[in-house]
Amino acid sequence: MVLARTSGPTQPRPSLERVSTSRAYLDHAATTPVRPEAIAAMVPAMTETYGNPSGAHRLARDARRALDDARDVLAEGLGCGPGDVVFTAGGTEADNLAVMGVHGRHGGTVVCPATEHHAVLHAVERCGGRVVGVDASGLVDLEALADALDDSVTLVSVMLVNNETGVIQPLDPVADLVAELAPRARLHTDAIQAFCWLDVARLAARADLISVSAHKFGGPKGVGALVVRPDVSLAAQLIGGGQERDRRSGTQNVPGIVAMAAAARASIDTRTATGARIGALRDRLADGLVDAVAGLSETAVGPDRDRSHKVAGSCHVTVEGVETEALLVLLERDDVFASAGSSCASGAQEPSHVLAAMGVPRPVALGAVRFSLGWCSTEADVDHALQVVPAAYDRLLEFAR
């Protein structure tokens, strides 16, 4: 039995025979495999230094020391003092704490661009804030931002790297505008997608608050940090035992935090080499897809294929007429794992608010696929993807006609 079609191709369709037995995990922007260094650090924190770091006895002090060592690593990597690092249960909590914490303490108006992650965007909306537009490549529209800034603004949140497109947002022009037009305002940056690729300490030096998340750079899920500069006060969103200097109560996730620090250490130590290696792999993947798939367009990348404004692991493409959901099912069958870049709690693909804000037409946005490479991506991953992905596109384009 063959599924009937009212009108359709009679010519042979591209084959769906499995092309090889390898697999390509290309969803590092969603989450990364945990680095061996992180696992090695995590286990003794559960079996040996398992004390409560707030306690008084030796086992507690051992845990406290592990926590403080981890805090030092993060502080160095993020360009702040150890006392400025607030450990959280991940990136969403860090973003929420930045926005709702500052707004909760100081009131006023909070501002962000429309392309922020929902962890910021929904928090800004909850605080009744202002959302400003972006240009076609997703960079914040500085004129619109200027219009949104005034004395009432207490927080401006602009992400350093967009999680869908991988485009890097220079923060200096934003910080200049904030200093000039919103003197009360603090600048927050969501650096969650940036940390594994970029020197966040340098690029976010003018930010008052910085969010990071461990599982985006080879650490475990459920742990992150918010940098809070010494002169920034915020209202805690979790209250209780007063841990993290009253900015975030709750017994610290010591195993997660030491693993995050180990992953951060490894990430920072190998950052330059990894960026160069993965950037070359990404270019080969992106070039290969552009060359092989008719009508494929690389988001925020021009015909010169200059990708220097994106992080090294990011390859975001659209093909009008090919629906992401269908493509991902075909890719998964051949063990290529990618994503649309955005999905809802039910697991359904949602049209991207980021692409909408960039002015990408909805029918094009519905065909968006994000291939994201990471610290452990290999030549073989790209080889496998270039075997599988164009064939899947060909088949769906055949059916779309």
Partner 1 sequence: MKVLVAMSGGVDSSVAAALLAADGHEVTGVTMKLWGGASDTGCCSVSDVDDARRVADHLGIDHHVFNFGDDFERFVVGPYVVDHQEGRTPNPCIECNRHIKFDRLLERAAALDFDAVATGHHARVVRTGSGAPRLARGADRAKDQSYVLHMLSEEQLECLLLPIGHLTKADVRAMAERFGLRTAAKPDSQDVCFITSAQGRGAFLDERIELTPAEIVGTDGTRVGEVAGVQLVTIGQRKGLDIGGHPEPRYVIDVDVQGARVTIGSADELLTDSTLLSDLAWTGAPVRQPVLVQASAHGDVAEGTVVGTTVQWATRHRRIAPGQSLVFYAASNGEQVVVGGATADRPGD
| Smaller CB separation from partner 1, 187 or 331 | 331
Least Cβ distance, residue 288 to partner 1 (angstroms) = 23
Q: Return d(Cα 229, Cα 209) in angstroms, integer.
A: 7
Least Cβ distance, residue 1 to partner 1 (angstroms) = 5
Identify the active-site residue in 80, 127, 315, 344.
344
| Smaller CB separation from partner 1, 240 or 295 | 295
End-to-end CA distance of the chain: 23
Least Cβ distance, residue 293 to partner 1 (angstroms) = 16
| Smaller CB separation from partner 1, 11 or 346 | 346
| Smaller CB separation from partner 1, 39 or 326 | 326
User: Are the beta carbons of 116 and 190 closer than 8 angstroms?
Assistant: yes
| Smaller CB separation from partner 1, 29 or 330 | 330
What phi, psi does 211 have (nearest 5°)?
-100, 140
Residues that bind partner 1 (CB under 8 A): 1-6, 8, 16, 323, 325-326, 329-330, 344-351, 362, 366, 395-396, 399-400
Least Cβ distance, residue 18 to partner 1 (angstroms) = 12
Least Cβ distance, residue 346 to partner 1 (angstroms) = 4
Please indicate whether residue 112 is annotated as part of the active site: no
- Which residues are designated catalytic? 344
